[in-house]
Amino acid sequence: MDKLRHITSILPEYILLIAVIVFWISTKTILNPFAIGLVLIITFQIIYKNKIIGIVIPSILILISLYMLLALLSEFNEFPTFSYEAKKLLFVGLSIFVGTILIALLMVYNTVKFSKK
């Protein structure tokens, strides 16, 4: 049971790290300062479990994801019909941004829960 609890406590950070690495690869830019900074910050969080970073990073991710959800809905409203492209935009966008919000909330929960001990 403790092993499962340990895995769920570090899982959000690893998922975010993988997402940043995929973003970095998709930009095809080796010296991407945004990606390098995120990889360093998330790696620091995985190693040291800093309480402040454990709350600040997911809070920023939640705010950015909420903003992107509004942009997604705005773009979706520009489609005249509920076509294949509109469905694809809506379902892929919602899954990405809602998934990011859920992972960020799990990271905040883990930070608050484990900082009390």
> Domain locations in the chain?
2-115
Position 23 scores a pLDDT of 86
Buried b (16+ CB within 10 A) or exposed e, 47-62: eebeeeebeebbeebb
Please report the pLDDT score of residue 30 as a whole number. 85
Instruction: Give the per-residue SS3 of 4-55.
Output: HHHHHHHHHHHHHHHHHHHHHHHHCCCCCHHHHHHHHHHHHHHHHCCHHHHH
Mean pLDDT, rounded, for 67-71: 95
Residue 49: pLDDT band (50, 70, 90) is: confident
Per residue in 13-25, pLDDT tens?
Answer: 999 999 889 988 9
The predicted model scores a pTM of 0.84
Rounded to whole angstroms, the Cα distance separating 64 from 80 reads 27
User: What mean pLDDT is reported for the chain?
Assistant: 90
| 77 phi/psi in degrees, rounded to 5 | -70, -15
Q: Convert the pLDDT of each residue in 36-45 to its tens digit.
A: 999 999 999 9
